C-alpha cells in the first residue's frame, strides 16, 4: 500500500480539512442512486435476507426457552417504534429550526438480551455458527424443533468450540451472552473505550474478557490473531462479516410490518428519512440494506458519527474506504460515544453501501449529551451517548435545501415525511452510569 499523502488528499478533498479540525460536518453523497442500480454493489440479495429471517424463526422456540424475557414476543428479538412529538418540539426550539414531517424513534436501545442494536447482528451470527456446527455433526436438521438445543447434551457439544470477538462494548455483550448461553467457550477482546459495567456483566456470565489500552482496531487485530491459533475457535469479524450484516438487515422487513400496523405510510409522497449512528458500519449498513429492500427508494438513509471518529465519512468521501483511518488525519478517535469509537470503517460495508446512503454527518460529544438529557427530560427515554447521534439528523436534513432540491421533494411531500431516529443502545446502562450521562447534558432552556 502507498503511504497516504495527507496534504495532497486534503487539497483534493477540502472537506477533510473540516474533519481534521473536528468541525461538525455534513456531506450528501452526489453518487447515491437508486436501489436497482446500486444493488449489485452489495453482493447480497433479498433472498439472503429472507434466509436470515427464516433462520431466526427456526431459533425462536429455542430463544424463548433460553431467555424467558422473549416469551412475550415468542422468541423474536425486536424493538418498539414510537413517535416523539415532544422531543421534536424541543429540538425545534433548541436549534431554532423547523423539522418538516414527524419525528419517530426506533428503540433498539431496548432490544432484549443485550440492550443494543448488536442484539440483531451479534446474536444472529452466533446462532448461524451454532446451527452450522450442529448440522454438520449430524446432531440437528433444520426441520427439527430447536428447543432441543437447550439441553445439557448440546451445551456439552458446543463447549468443544470457542468463539472470539473484538468490541467497543456492545457487540461483545451480545456475542458473549449468547455464546455463553449456548455453551461455547467465549472470549471478548475489549477496547479501551468499553465501559466497566459491560466487562463486569460479561464476566458474571462466564465470558473471558481481555482488556486493551488501545482502541477498537487493536482489540480486533489482537483478538483475530489469538483466535487463529485455535482451530476450534471461530472469530466473529465485525469489519467484514456478511453474516452479521444480514442479521441487521432483517430489521427492514420487520419495520415495514410495524409501520403498517401503525398506519404509517412510506411511498413517493411520504418519504422516510432514517438516521443511523455509525461505528465500523455493519449495524447501520445492514439495517440500511434491509430498509432499502423493504421500502425501495422511498427510504433515505443518513449515517451519523462523532467528530472524533468520522471513519465512514472519511472512507466513503475519499473512496479510500478501509485504506485510511481517522488517525491518518491526526484525529484521536476519543469520544463519549463509545459504541462509535472506530477509527477505520469496514471496507466491505463502505463499498457495498456507498451508493445507497444519501449522506453522512458528524456531531460533537456535547451535543450528544445535551440531546440525551433532553430526551430523558421531555420523553422519559434514556439512551447511551452513541444512540443520540441520529437525533440531530432531522434538524440537518430540514436545513439542507440543496439536498432536498436535488431529491425534487415538493413541500407537500416533505410535510408528509417521517424521520426515524435509530436509537442504538442504552437499555442496560446501570442507573448510576445514566445519572452521570444526564449530568453532562444541559437542561432544556
Ligand atoms: C455498535 C454500535 C453502533 C454502530 O454499529 P457499527 O456496526 O459499529 O457501525 C451504534 N450504536 C451503538 C450503541 C453501538 O453499540
Show the ligand 1 pocket: residues with CB < 6 angstroms. 116-118, 170-171, 277-284, 339-340, 342, 384, 386-387, 424-425
Averaged over successive runs of 10 residues, the pLDDT of the chain (445 residues) comes to 85 98 98 97 98 98 97 96 98 98 98 97 98 98 98 98 94 96 97 91 96 91 94 94 98 98 98 98 98 98 98 98 97 96 97 98 98 98 98 98 97 98 97 98 92
Contact criterion met (CB below 8 Å) for 158 and 133: yes
Distance from C-alpha of 353 to C-alpha of 365, rounded to nearest angstrom: 26
What ligand 1 atom has the least distance to the C-alpha of 312? 9
Q: How many CA atoms lie within 13 A of 196 on its CB side?
A: 2
Q: Nearest to residue 437, comparing CAs of 373, 380, 341? A: 373
Cα 141 to ligand 1 centre (Å)? 33
Contact criterion met (CB below 8 Å) for 386 and 280: no
- The residue whose C-alpha atom lies closest to atom 15 belonging to ligand 1 is 339
Q: 105, 168, 170: which to mutate for ligand 1, most atoms within 8 A of CB?
A: 170
pLDDT computed for residue 193 by the predictor: 84
Cα 155 to ligand 1 centre (Å)? 29
What ligand 1 atom has the least distance to the C-alpha of 121? 7
pLDDT computed for residue 4 by the predictor: 82
pLDDT computed for residue 74 by the predictor: 95
- The residue whose C-alpha atom lies closest to atom 8 belonging to ligand 1 is 279
What ligand 1 atom has the least distance to the C-alpha of 244? 7
28 grid coordinates? 450528501
Cα 283 to ligand 1 centre (Å)? 6
User: What does each C-alpha distance from 168 to 79, 99, 214, 269, 392 come to in angstroms?
Assistant: 22, 33, 11, 40, 23
The CATH number given to 118-238 is: 3.40.50.1100
The domain over range 6-114+245-440 is classified in CATH as 3.30.930.10: no
Cα 277 to ligand 1 centre (Å)? 6
Cα 409 to ligand 1 centre (Å)? 30
Domain boundaries, the chain: 6-114+245-440, 118-238
pLDDT computed for residue 2 by the predictor: 65
What ligand 1 atom has the least distance to the C-alpha of 248? 7
What ligand 1 atom has the least distance to the C-alpha of 109? 13
Quick one: CA torsion of 315, 48, 70, 60, rounded to 10 degrees? -150
What ligand 1 atom has the least distance to the C-alpha of 277? 10
Cα 206 to ligand 1 centre (Å)? 24
Amino acid at each position: 500500500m502507498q503511504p497516504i499523502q495527507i496534504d495532497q488528499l486534503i487539497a483534493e478533498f477540502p472537506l477533510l480539512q473540516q474533519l481534521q479540525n473536528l468541525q461538525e460536518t455534513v456531506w450528501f453523497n452526489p453518487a447515491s442512486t437508486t436501489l436497482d442500480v446500486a444493488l449489485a454493489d452489495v453482493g447480497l440479495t433479498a433472498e439472503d435476507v429472507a434466509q436470515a429471517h427464516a433462520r431466526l424463526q427456526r431459533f425462536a422456540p429455542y430463544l424463548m426457552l433460553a431467555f424467558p424475557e422473549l416469551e412475550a414476543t415468542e422468541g423474536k428479538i425486536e424493538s418498539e417504534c414510537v413517535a416523539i412529538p415532544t422531543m421534536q418540539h424541543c429540538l425545534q426550539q433548541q436549534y431554532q429550526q423547523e423539522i418538516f414531517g414527524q419525528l419517530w424513534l426506533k428503540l433498539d436501545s431496548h432490544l432484549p438480551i443485550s440492550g443494543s442494536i448488536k442484539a440483531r447482528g451479534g446474536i444472529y451470527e452466533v446462532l448461524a455458527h451454532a446451527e452450522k456446527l450442529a448440522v454438520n455433526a449430524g446432531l440437528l436438521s433444520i426441520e427439527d424443533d430447536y428447543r432441543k438445543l437447550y439441553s445439557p447434551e448440546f451445551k456439552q457439544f458446543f463447549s468443544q468450540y470457542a468463539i472470539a470477538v473484538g468490541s467497543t462494548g456492545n457487540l461483545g455483550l451480545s456475542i458473549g451472552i449468547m455464546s455463553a448461553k449456548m455453551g461455547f467457550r467465549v472470549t471478548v477482546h475489549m477496547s479501551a473505550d468499553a465501559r466497566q459495567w459491560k466487562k463486569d456483566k460479561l464476566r458474571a456470565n462466564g465470558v473471558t474478557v481481555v482488556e486493551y489500552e488501545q482502541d477498537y482496531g487493536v482489540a480486533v487485530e489482537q483478538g483475530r490473531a489469538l483466535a487463529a491459533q485455535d482451530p476450534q475457535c471461530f472469530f466473529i469479524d465485525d469489519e467484514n462479516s456478511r453474516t452479521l450484516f444480514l442479521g441487521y438487515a432483517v430489521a427492514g422487513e420487520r419495520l415495514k410490518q410495524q409501520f403498517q400496523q401503525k398506519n404509517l405510510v412510506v411511498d413517493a409522497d411520504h418519504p422516510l428519512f432514517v438516521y443511523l449512528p455509525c461505528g465500523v458500519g455493519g449495524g447501520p449498513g445492514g439495517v440500511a440494506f434491509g430498509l432499502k429492500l423493504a421500502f425501495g427508494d422511498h427510504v433515505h438513509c443518513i449515517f451519523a458519527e462523532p467528530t472524533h471518529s468520522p471513519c465512514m465519512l472519511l472512507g466513503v468521501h475519499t473512496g479510500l474506504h478501509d485504506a485510511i483511518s481517522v488517525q491518518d488525519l491526526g484525529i484521536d478517535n476519543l469520544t463519549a460515544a463509545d459504541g462509535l469509537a472506530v477509527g477505520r470503517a469496514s471496507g466491505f460495508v463502505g463499498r457495498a453501501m456507498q451508493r445507497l446512503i444519501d449522506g453522512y454527518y458528524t456531531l460533537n460529544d456535547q451535543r450528544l449529551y445535551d440531546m440525551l438529557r433532553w430526551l430523558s427530560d421531555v420523553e422519559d427515554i434514556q439512551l447511551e451517548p452513541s444512540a443520540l447521534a441520529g437525533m440531530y439528523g432531522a434538524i440537518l436534513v430540514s436545513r439542507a435545501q440543496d439536498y432536498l432540491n436535488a431529491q425534487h421533494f415538493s413541500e407537500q411531500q416533505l410535510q408528509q415525511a417521517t424521520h426515524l431516529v435509530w436509537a442504538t443502545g442504552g437499555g442496560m446502562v446501570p442507573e448510576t452510569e445514566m445519572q452521570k450521562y444526564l449530568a453532562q447534558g444541559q437542561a432544556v432552556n
